[in-house]
Chains A and B, each alone.
Chain A
Amino acid sequence: MPDLWLYVKAMVSAAAVSALCVLATVVVRRKTDRSWLNTACVSGIGFGLAVGCGVLSLLPVWPPANGLDRFLTVLVPAVLSIELLAGIQRVPLSFLWALRIGLATAAPLILLYGSVYLSGFDNDWPLRRTSTVMAACSALLTGVWALLGRLAQRSPGVSIPFAVCLTTQCAGLTVMMAGYIKGGAAALLLVAVLLATIIAARLMARRFGEVAENCTLATLGVGVVSLFGVLFIGRFFGRLSTGSALIMLLAPLICWATELPQLRHRKPWVVGWLRITLVSVPLVFVLVEAKRDFVRDMAPLLGQGEPATIELTAQAGDRTAGSGEAAFP
């Protein structure tokens, strides 16, 4: 069973390291610029995550042995590197998007490497089916990443990475309730570091009179890839249903609803709250369903299933005995 105190400790440590990293980097420089703030955010996420993984004993091995290891040692560092590059002004945007699309294309292959899906061990997963599913997943990741990035440029605000964090938190809890505790725990850590980084960067940007939109874009990229990774390993290695995974991956796109003409020109905090509220709606449904499935699956393991069955049988037996028919033992 998960140790809640340990998770709280890991999340707080990871968040503290991320925030301190951002604050220290910016304070040392005594001013913020686009590239410096971006570097502070990306390094904050990386160091915070490493500390959190250490507290949770989630430190991956090399070469990575399973989906979660590959997620933490290959995919997350890859997206951090891309977002680090994004802070350098001389790097053309088209090159950055080529790297992002390349990562999105490779992500399913990285996560499924060496598993029954690619080894041909599982007859239910012939190569053609696996290739189709991987292509669809890559397209989904690219689409969500591009659409959220476009929205962040069109209507900036921390509400978009917050919505991604909220969804990742929901994904982590759902994956945990589906029986994959370590996969869910990784998601909780990622949420802690992303939130701490966003808040610290926001504070620093205000302090030095700069906008923190670059940090928003960096955390958004890491957040989207993290959300995808957690859902992907939860679906293909755990027991997360395809429906729940798709709802959670697409949920942050509801933020686009605030681009409707009636809502677009509202105050920024109204737009922000609206985005978070709208994204929360499908997530609540997913969580309720996951909790129901969890209670149903755990009941027999905790000895709560059998007594109910016996009681029902006894009642049925009483009734049939009363009606004069033979009752089954």
Chain B
Amino acid sequence: MRRMFSVWVLTLVVGIAVCAGEQSAIAADEYDYDLVHSSVGFKARHLGISWIHGRFNDVSGKFSLDRQQPSKSTFKLTIKADSVDTANKARDEHLRQPDYFDTKQYPTIEFKSTSTKVIEGGYEVTGDFTMHGTTQKVTIVLMGGKEHDFKGTKRVAFSTELALKRSDYGFDKRAIGPIGDKALIFIDCEGVRK
């Protein structure tokens, strides 16, 4: 009788623990970055008169959206610097060199959120942006976040624009040359719910 009671209590405790875990998992929806329907692009001034456009073709990421407690939502994005594509092979090769991205030393560009705030139409996310081995705190405004069910798969999308100075990230000032110091980054990402 005593043993049966112990087994019953243990089952109850384990059951409560599992349910509690499930509850928290349900509260935060996990999404994977959908490379097919997303893009990370950038543009930078050329000679101060025009813009050079480019993109990164190899990006991955995860975000967790907590609808009940949005401040607990997290965002993480990893860009492979080697995948830079400006529609010119010679220039792409040049950008991978140590005077620019130094992709053999710093293979990734990363963003990892540290705090999230809800704003009208999206989220204001503050996090660590690491590029060229230098980490800076940045705040980005993610617009979107509406969920869409497409053929049984739940998707959510965000867009943001970010302006940064390459000299803040340890790029050689002389190598900045004809390409402007300031770069604008455009992120349009779609997440697929796990």
Seen from chain A, the residues whose Cβ lies within 8 Å of a Cβ on chain B are 1-3, 57, 65-68, 114-117, 119, 121-122, 179-183, 233, 236-239, 297-301
Contact = CB atoms under 8 A, between A and B. Distances in A.
Given A179-B99, A180-B99, 5 more contacts: A179-B94, A181-B99, A181-B174, A237-B98, A239-B93
B167 to A, nearest CB: 12
B133 A66 contact: yes
A115 B99 CA distance: 15
27 contacts: A1-B177, A1-B178, A2-B174, A3-B174, A57-B173, A65-B133, A65-B170, A66-B98, A66-B105, A66-B133, A68-B98, A114-B105, A116-B103, A116-B105, A117-B104, A179-B94, A180-B97, A181-B175, A182-B98, A182-B99, A182-B172, A183-B98, A233-B98, A237-B97, A237-B98, A297-B93, A301-B94
Contacts of A183: 98
Nearest to B108: A121
Contact of A67 (B98, B99, B170, B172): B98
A122 B133 contact: no
A291 B63 CA distance: 48
Contacts of A117: 104
B88 interface: yes
Interface string B140-173: 0000000000000000000000000000001011
A115 B177 contact: no
Nearest to A58: B172
Given A116-B104, A300-B90, A238 B174 contact: no
Contacts of A181: 99, 174-175
Contacts of B94: 179, 297, 301
Q: Of residues A119, A237, A299, which shows the largest number of chain B Cβ atoms within 10 Å of its Cβ?
A: A237
A299 B90 CA distance: 9
B98 A238 contact: yes
A121 B58 CA distance: 14
Contact of A300 (B91, B98, B177, B178): B91
Nearest to A66: B105
A179 B104 contact: no
A168 to B, nearest CB: 18
A180 B93 CA distance: 11
B102 interface: yes
A180 to B, nearest CB: 5
B107 interface: yes
Contacts of B173: 57
Interface size class, chain B: 20 to 34
Contacts of A67: 98, 105
B52 to A, nearest CB: 11
A113 to B, nearest CB: 10
B123 to A, nearest CB: 30
Nearest to A125: B104
B99 A298 contact: no
Contact of B174 (A57, A114, A233, A236): A57
Contacts of A122: 104, 107
A57 B103 CA distance: 22
B97 A121 contact: no
A131 B127 CA distance: 37
Contacts of B133: 65-66
Contacts of A2: 174
B38 to A, nearest CB: 22
Contact of A236 (B88, B104, B172, B177): B104
Nearest to B103: A116
Contacts of B174: 2-3, 57, 181
A2 B99 CA distance: 11
Contacts of B93: 179, 239, 297
Interface string B79-123: 000000000111101100111001111011000000000000000
Nearest to B177: A1
Contacts of B98: 66-68, 180, 182-183, 233, 237-238
B105 A65 contact: yes
A123 to B, nearest CB: 12
A68 B94 CA distance: 17
A214 to B, nearest CB: 36
